[in-house]
Amino acid sequence: MQRMLGVNTWVWTSPLDDTSLAVIARAVAAMGFDGIELPVENPGDWDPEAAAALLRELGLAPRVVGAMAEGRELVRAAPETIAATQRYLVHCIGVAQQLGAGIVAGPFYAHTGRTWREGADERAQTVAELRRSLEPVVDAALAAGVTIAIEPLNRYETSLVNTVEQALEALAPLLGPGLGLALDSYHLNIEEKRPLDAIRSAAGSIAHVQVCGTDRGAVGDDHGDWPGFLDALDDAGYTGPLNLESFTAHNDSIATAASIWRPLAASQDDLARRSLDYLTALQKERSTL
């Protein structure tokens, strides 16, 4: 099948604002992408109504991603911190509703980079707390016609949800129209013994998929089994877009957060175009088989 191909604005900038969005969205459309991922790092950074009008003009399908900055926690935190994080996620849902985006994706459990050790009993308590904290957020998503997509991260960015198996176990009672998984090829490559089997194991629960090269660079010139990746998504019944997520080394805060210490392509435009060209050609080739 021919999936839509999108790209996250983090490839070029952080934080997003109205001015940079106007420039990036037009460039993304000119490259030939079908969609765009818009991060909500801080409420008010950019205007959802203006963004919606711009994306309609350009014919770009939107998705929203949240940013779990330090202090955003749904587990092992003070009640007021959890409540503030819930309000932030509900805000992201409202932004998605304004944009006409059906997905809000991200690692919605603890701030990125937060790790801790815990035994089996402690983990069970943390998972139970996560479910309680997520329940009102999922209710808000359902009411808005939006799905929250929760992303497992690698071991260096979280100690709570690293694998698809852990995500399915932790979220099982809540999975459904308002809650699914966001799978990222970068984290799958690090944490899964067999990434393609992990994708298949999430059949029926995959709400969003992000891709990049195994080095966080362009898709297609890395060691990833991309034909197999698409086969696994087909087997899992996922029909949504593939959205490129990488980061620029030219922004100190985002480069540090994502450990981007060197340029991953000749330019960020080059990284995006090569990924788009590879995935477009691969999908075309598969459609003729």
The percent of residues above 90 in pLDDT, for the chain, comes to 93
Band (pLDDT 50/70/90 cuts) for residue 253 is: low
Per the structure, the complete domain to which residue 23 belongs is given by 5-287
Would you say residue 248 has pLDDT above 90?
no
Rounded distance, CA 133 to CA 3, Å?
33
Rounded distance, CA 149 to CA 29, Å?
25
The percent of residues above 70 in pLDDT, for the chain, comes to 99
Q: How far is CA 69 from CA 21, 42, 72, 83, 110, in A?
A: 21, 9, 6, 15, 9
pLDDT average, residue stretch 153-163: 97
Q: Which residue has the higher pLDDT, 258 or 109?
A: 109
Domain count of the fold of the chain: 1
Q: Which of 215, 207, 205, 230 is nearest to 147 (CA)?
A: 207
pLDDT average, residue stretch 254-277: 91
Would you say residue 250 has pLDDT above 80?
no
Q: Are strands 61-66 and 179-184 parallel, antiparallel or unpaired?
A: unpaired
Instruction: Summarize pLDDT for 115-128 with one digit per residue, the tens.
Output: 999 999 999 999 99
**Residue 65, Ramachandran bin (φ over 0: left; ψ between -120 and 50: alpha; else beta):** beta
Q: Any idea what the CATH number is for the domain that residue 112 is in? A: 3.20.20.150
- Cβ atoms of 99 and 62 within 8 Å: the answer is yes
Would you say residue 256 has pLDDT above 90?
no
pLDDT average, residue stretch 222-237: 98
Question: What number of CA atoms fall less than 13 Å from residue 273's CA on the CB side?
Answer: 9
Band (pLDDT 50/70/90 cuts) for residue 240 is: very high
Rounded distance, CA 121 to CA 145, Å?
35
Over the chain, what is the mean pLDDT? 96
